Structure 1
Amino acid sequence: MNRILYLIAILFALPMVAQQSITLQECYDLVTTNYPIAKQSQLFKQQNNLDLEVISKAKLPQLDLSAQATYQSDVISIPIPNTSIEPLNKDQYRATLSVNQLIYNGGIINTSSQVKNAQLQTQQKQVEVSLYQLKQKVNELYFSIILLEKKKQLLTEKQTQLQAQLKEVKSGVNNGILLPSSDKVLEAELLKIDQEFSEINSNKLSLIDNLSSLTGTLLNQETSFIIPLTQTTINDEINRPELDLFQLKKEEINLSEALIKKQNSPKLVGFATGGYGNPGLNMLDNSFQTFYTVGVKINWNVFDWNINKKQRESLAINKDLVETELETFKLNTNIERNNYQKEIKKISDLIKIDTNIIALRKTVLNATESQLRNGVITTSAYITELTNLNEAENSLATHQIQFELAKANYNITSGN
């Protein structure tokens, strides 16, 4: 008996477990984690590690192995009679192993690594910006779904009210108080409501599918979308990730400029070469010999026709371009924020008017219901007043959702 009761309890609990709810903030977090472009951040990190490894290899000794065999049409001869010096062979052979070790290059390697790290930060911040900009798309889908749910709720209330009136009207028709066709008008209106339910469900399913794709998580018609009570703080501050992106771009340009300056620095390299060949370093010894050379060398591009200077001037222009992009972004963001502030104020005023309209419409509908039961008005007149009330309630619901959407968009635009 206890086992049966336990199974029954599980069966009743299943729908509750299956019931899923989600918040707007959770949708933001899911987009940040699951949207395909989010994977790029880690890919950029892996790529940067490889690039840094390649750059660091320049500090290690560089080995160069070469071998050659040649035949010459003529060789050096010493025109001194009665000497034992033999002329060189026309076929000559040589194999060498050279080692070059960078000693000093003006800090190019370290600066190159800094440039690569700056590029990584810029790339990762760009990914963050792209993900952040998806939040407004999430807002549109999320609040549209909530609005459809509210419309469905109001439509259900209208359906319930019509069904109740239909019973009374049929009773009135049977008693000869109302015209025989009065109930048919209400039945037709109920069929129209069924059509509206179908349209709402279809639109809602489409929006849910889009939000599921965007967040990378499974949502369905049974998912409960929690209405957020958004708080807005009106101030002049902007905390968008784009501001960090512009700053990182400028830092990357500064490091690139420093790298270019170091390109003309003197480079000191130590080298050693060992080999085996015929002839060796002693050109007068016509035999196979081992040999080696060691030393240091310096390279310094003293004059580059102002190439370095022009490259730095080009980077300075890039820095100015970033600055203009920053100013443009701030200007457009402030315009957008001002528009949302005005929209929030406008919708707030509309909600107050909606509330008054609904109160009046309910008063009129109550009077109409009494008139319908007494046969004073037709069912069409009653449906007109009921529809007017439903439209007023829909208007209020729409404005309430738009109010929350405008506040959410304001926060996203401000970076709150």
Structure 2
Amino acid sequence: MKRLILILISIATFTGYAQQRITIEECYNLAIQNYPLAKQSQLLETQYELDAEVISTAKLPQLNLDAQATYQSDVIEVPIPNSNIEPLNKDQYRATLSANQLIYNGGLTDASLNVKSAQLKTKQKQIEVSLYQLKQQINQLYFSILLAQESELLLKAKQTQLEAKLKEVVSGIKYGVILPSSDKVLEAELLKISQQFQELDSNKAALIETLSSLIKKPLEASTLFQNPLIETQLQNDLNRPELELFQLKKEEISQSETLISKLNAPKLLGFVTGGYGNPRLNMLDNSFQAFYTVGVKLNWNVFNWNSKNKQRKSLTINKDIIDTETEAFKLNTNIELNKQQKEIEKIEGFITSDEAIINLRKEVLQTADSQLKNGVITSSAYITELTNLYEDENTLVRHKIQLQLAKANYNVIKGQ
């Protein structure tokens, strides 16, 4: 017998450990990791590396191959009698290979790379902002499941109490203390509870399926959703990723300003050209031969019709726009925080009232229980009081879950 008890305890312990558990923080992390949008961050990184390699090729030698064959209606001739200088052929051929090496461009290449890097950070932060916004959606699903989970426990407690009371009523009917058919009322109420269980299970399954799809993790119907103890710090400091996004946008504009200042910088290049053709560099030598040239060249756009200043002014306006967006975001966020704080205070007041109401309901039910045993009231009257207590307890549970949800949303709005 002792061995059987130990086996049963072991099975129960294993089942408890084997039950799937999950926390709201795990849901946050899984959503950020597995949501399809999260893959874009790595894609943007790969794209940046490719763009950076393309821009950096400006520092490498640039090779150009040219070839041409032409026929001219006239050519240069030397007007000296008896000079024995043959005129050029009217059909001419030339093939050249040129190599240009950038020596100096005022830091234009590095400025272009810095702009690309700033754009990458901005785009990645935008993805982070989008993923962060999933948190409130997860909050709504998670705490709705938690409410269904707690409601099941309350309903189970009511069912257990009714089943125990049904045994007492059956016994009372047998000994003539309680009116006949009182047990039928209790049995009908138990059937209603079975229907309520089915409805709760259906709603909970739909919520779990939605959350599972959002976090990309299979969740069983028996999964235990742990109730978090959420605390809020009532202060004005915001830590939202949107604020970092606004700052990165301004940094991107600053890098664009630097790039604009480099666009008209002088560019110095070294070059070497080798070729083969007829005629070559010596126009008086009418034969196919090789030739080459080596040198440096300077390219400088000294006048751009004031376009650079206009571009800078446009970027400055963009910075001002971002500043106004930042201020609007802070204002709206603080308004939402204030609303959420009022919601928290309201629910806390409800909970205090709920607890007082439940204490009174328990006293009334205790009296009804005694009256039912003595045949003073019917089972219907007892069920009415039991249902009143159950509904008030359910209201308390709902308010507690709503309080946790309000606190979680407060923290999300604040960026905590």
Q: Which residue of 1 aligns with 2:215?
A: 215
Provide the rounded CA distance (Å) in 2 between the counterparts of 1:368 and 1:243: 60
1:7 to partner: Cα distance? 9.5
1:52 corresponding residue in structure 2: 52
The reply to whether residue 389 of structure 1 matches residue 386 of structure 2 is no
Instruction: Show the counterpart of 1:266.
Output: 266
Distance in 2, Cα, partners of 1:138 & 1:11:
34
Instruction: For 2:248 and 2:28, locate their aligned partners in 1 and report how far apart those are by CA, in whole Å.
Output: 24
The residue aligned with 1:79 is: 79
Where 1:245 maps in the other structure, the secondary structure is helix
Q: Distance in 1 between matches of 2:159 and 2:45?
A: 58
Query: CA-to-partner distance for each residue in 1:318-355, whole Å, 9 max, x for gaps?
Result: 11121111111101110111111111111111100000
* Structure 1 counterpart SS, 2:99: strand
Aligned to 2:227: 227
Rounded to whole Å, the distance in 1 between the matches of 2:270 and 2:143 is 69
- What are the Cα deviations for residues 260-293 of structure 1, in whole angstroms up to 9, with x where unaligned? 1211111111111110001111122111121111
Higher mean C-alpha displacement, 200-209 vs 389-398: 200-209
Aligned counterpart, 1:148: 148
C-alpha RMSD over aligned residues: 2.1
Tell me: CA distance 1:108–1:212, structure 2 relative to 1, closer, same or farther (3 Å): same
Range 32-41 or range 166-175, more displaced: 166-175
Deviation at 1:175, TM superposition (A): 4.2
Residue by residue, what CA displacement relative to the aligned partner does 1:243-265 show, whole Å, maximum 9, x if unpaired? Answer: 11111110010110110121111
Output the amino acid matched with 1:34.
N
CA distance in 1, matches of 2:406, 2:41: 31
Secondary structure, counterpart of 2:195 in structure 1: helix
Give the corresponding residue for 2:303.
303
SS at match of 1:70: strand
1:353 is aligned to 353
The correspondence of residues 17-416 of structure 1 with structure 2, limited to 5 A, is 17-416=17-416
Secondary structure of 1:246's aligned partner = helix
How many residues are paired up?
A: 413
C-alpha offsets along residues 286-309 of structure 1, whole Å, 9 cap, x if unaligned? 111211112221111122222222
Letter aligned with residue 217 of structure 2 = T
Aligned partners of 1:147, 1:6: CA distance in 2, in Å? Answer: 35
C-alpha distance in structure 1 between counterparts of 2:220 and 2:406, whole Å: 25
Deviation (angstroms), 1:362: 1.0
Change beyond 3 A, Cα 1:388–1:9? closer
SS at match of 1:64: strand
Mark the CA change 1:178 to 1:150 in structure 2 (over 3 Å): closer, same or farther.
Answer: same
**Runs (5+) with no aligned partner, structure 1:** none
- 1:118-172 deviations in Å (ceiling 9; x for gaps): 1121122222222222111121111111111111111111111111222233334
Name the CA distance, whole Å, in 2 between partners of 1:83 and 1:11.
117
Give the C-alpha shift of residue 376 in structure 1. 2.5
Post-superposition shift, 1:90?
1.6
5+ residue gaps, structure 2, are: none
Letter in 2 for 1:354: D
Name the CA distance, whole Å, in 1 between partners of 2:387 and 2:201.
20
Worse-superposed segment, 69-78 or 363-372: 69-78
Q: Which amino acid aligns with 2:275?
A: G
C-alpha separation in 2, matches of 1:364 and 1:179: 21
Q: CA deviation at 1:82?
A: 2.4
Deviations 1:168-220 (A, max 9, x none): 33334444444443322222211111111111111111111222222222221
| Segment drifting more, 174-183 vs 217-226 | 174-183
One-letter code aligned to 1:315: L
SS in 2 for 1:227: coil
> Cα distance, 1:83 vs. partner?
2.5
Give the Cα–Cα distance (whole angstroms) in 2 for the partners of residues 378 and 164 of structure 1: 16
Question: What whole-Å deviation, never above 9, does each CA across 1:366-406 have from its counterpart, x for those lacking one?
Answer: 11122223332232222221111111001100111111111
- Supply the distance in 1 between the matched residues of 2:210 and 2:325 (Cα, whole angstroms): 32
